[in-house]
Structure 1
Amino acid sequence: MEFSYWEKKQWFTQIDVAIKGSGIVELSTAIYIKKNHPEYKILILERGVLPQGASTKNAGFACFGSISELLSDLNNHTPEEIYSLVEQRYNGIQQLRGLVGDKTLDFQVHGGHEVFLEKDIHVYEECKEKMGFFNELLHPIFNKDVFRLMPNTYKFASVLSNYITHIEEGQINTGAMLYGLLKKAQSMGIQMVNGIEVLQIEDQTNQVNIETNLNCFTAAKICVTTNGFASQLLKLDVKPARAQVLITQPIHQLPIQGTFHLEQGYYYFRNIDNRILLGGGRNLDIAGETTTAFGKTAVIQEQLEQLLKHTILPNKEVIIDHRWSGIMGVGQQKKPIIKAVSPNVYCGVRMGGMGIAIGAAVGKELANLI
C-alpha cells in the first residue's frame, strides 16, 4: 500500500513507542506511557477492524480466582506466589476502574460463585476444607473473609446444595470497557491505525525496524502485548488458548445474577441483559484449543448447550442467539511476563485468562519500564 507524504509524516515518522495490538493491556500501556511522558508520540498498531484476542471476546469477569483454581495452583505455586497473584488481580481491577470509571464499565459486584456438580463432591469437600486457609491467606488484601458457603438458590440441577462464593468478585461490560479506553487514549493524543499487521521486528540498538503488511517504518521502542499471539514474533513461554462462548436470547424474568464457575474454572457463565453468557470447555480438547485460529467446534459447543439446558436452566426452553471465540495466552506459570526482551523491545503477555483483572496493572508496570 502506498502512503502519501502527509500520511507517512502524521502516523509513521518520529514514533517514540509503537504498541502492537489495541486490547486492554495495549491501551492501558499507551495511556500510562502518555501520562509519564506527555511529549511522546505513541502509535498503536491493530491488525483487526476491532481488537483481536480476548479483550472484548471474554465473559467480562472481574475475578480473582475461584477456590478450586487456587487449590489447583498450590500444585505449582507457593502460598506467597498465590497471594501475589491475587493481589495483582485486585490492584488491576482497581486501576481499571480508575481509568474508565464504574459507570462506563457497568461494574457490578454480585459475587463469584463456584458451583460443584454432584459427581465432584470430593473436590467440593477438599475446597470446603481449605476455605479457612485461603480466607486467612487473602485477608490482608480484602480485609475480610471472602470465601463463604452459599445455598443453591438459583435451582441449578445436578449440583451440590451449596456454592463456594467469593463475595468480592464482580462483572463488567467489556465492549464498553474497550470503548472507554479508546476514548481516553484518543483524548490524550495517542494515535492508532487499524488493519495493519506487524510481521517482523528488528532491534537495531538505536531504533526498531517494524515490517507490516502495509509498509516498513521505524520507532524508538515497541511493546508486544498481544498475549496469545505474542509467540508469533517473540520466543516466550506463552501459548495460545482458544475459548468458545455462546449467549442466549433474552429470557423473561431471568433470576440468575452473578458470575459462576464450574470444574475449576474450565466452564463459566453469567447474566447479562437478561441473557445467559456461557463459555469454556477447553479441557475437552486442550491440544485442539491451543491455537491462534478463531472458530468453534461441535464437541465443545454441544457440551456448552448440554450444561445450559440440563444444569443451568433445566426444564426451560432457551434459544442460542450468538456464538464466538477468543484467544487467551497461558503458560507453565500464571505470573505474567513483563520485561525488556532486547534494549528497545518490550513485552507484557501471559494473562492466563485473567486479562480483565490484571490487564491495567500489567500496562502500568510495562509503561514504567520504558
Structure 2
Amino acid sequence: MKILVTGGAGFIGSAVIRHILDNTSDSVINVDVLTYAGNLESIPGVENHSRYWFEPINICDRSELERVFSEHQPDAVMHLAAESHVDRSIDGPLVFVQTNLMGTFNLVDTAYHYWQSLTNAQQSSFRFHHISTDEVYGDLGHTAALFTEANSYQPSSPYSASKAGSDHLVSAWGRTYGLPTIITSCSNNYGPYHFPEKLIPHMILNALQGKELPVYGRGLQVRDWLYVEDHARALYTVLTRGEAGQRYNIGGHNEKTNIEVVETLCVLLEEMAPDKPAGIKHYRDLISYVADRPGHDMRYAIDASKIQRELGWIPQESFDSGMRKTVRWYLDNSGWWQRVLSGAYQLKRLGAK
C-alpha cells in the first residue's frame, strides 16, 4: 500500500511511520506542516528512503491537499495531524478549532472526492483512518467504569471538544457519502521521541536538570498509559484488518495516578541515572504541587476488549517495561531532546541540516 499519514513528524505519527517502514513493504507520504511539535528528527534515516515522501503542507490548505492526493494516489489515509496539548488549548483555543475541525474537514472531503475517482475495487479497499483520543468521552470521575466504543461524547477542554467535532465530521462522511472510514480512540501515549512539554518527558528532563517536578493539584488524576510503539502497531492493525464504519478503542491497561507516574520515574532515575545534579539528594525531593488547571478531568480509562477480540491486538509492554524503556531512551538520546529544548530541531523547517 501507499499510505498518506498526516502529522507524521509528531509523536504518534512518527512512531507510525517508523513502524510501517521498518516492519512492512508499504510506502508512506508524510504530510506535516511542522508546527513547534513537528520534528523530522523523530523519523531518522528517511531522507533518501525509497518508500518515503515528505510533503510540508498544512491540512487547512485545500488546494495543496488536492495536489498531494492527485500526485501520490494513496491507497489509505491515517489522519494524526492535530493540535493536541490541553494547556495550550485553554490558553489559545482558536488554532485547535482551525486545525482539528477545519483541517479535518478539508482532509476528509478531499479524500472523499479522490475516492470517488477510484475504481470499484480501489474504493472497496480504501480506508480513511481517523486517530482520536479518549478525552472526547469526558470524565469518568471516581467511578470504576471504562470507556467503550458506545460511550457518548462529553468533552471537557477546547482540545477534546475540537477532537470530538473532528470525529463527528469523519463519521458523517462515512454515513452520508459512503467513504470507508474507521475511527480509533487511544489512551495517554508515552515513549521515545515524546515532545518535552508532555508529562513523562517533562518530568524526566526536569529531573536530569535538577529542576522542580510540578504536579497539578495532588496528582490524583488517573490515566491509562499506552506505550507509543504498541499504539503504532495497533493503528496499523486497524488500518489493514479493521472493518470500515467501525470504531476501536486502544488502551494500555495501565491505570495510574499522575503522582504514581512521577514517583515511578524518580525511582527509575535513581537506578539508571544515579549521578544527580549538584545539591540533589533524591529525585523525589524535586516534586512540587501546583494549582490545578481549569476543567481537569479526574479519570480516563479505556476498555480495549473489542480490538483484542476482533483484531487480536494486545499491548506488548507493561507499564513497568514501557517506562523503563522510555527512561533508557531519554538517557541514551540526549542529543535529540537537547536540540528540541534549544530549538535547533526547527532549523529543518527552513531546509537546514
The structure richer in strand per residue is: 1
Q: TM-score, normalised by structure 1?
A: 0.26
The structure richer in helix per residue is: 2
Q: Which has the higher contact order (CA 8 A, sep 6+)?
A: 1
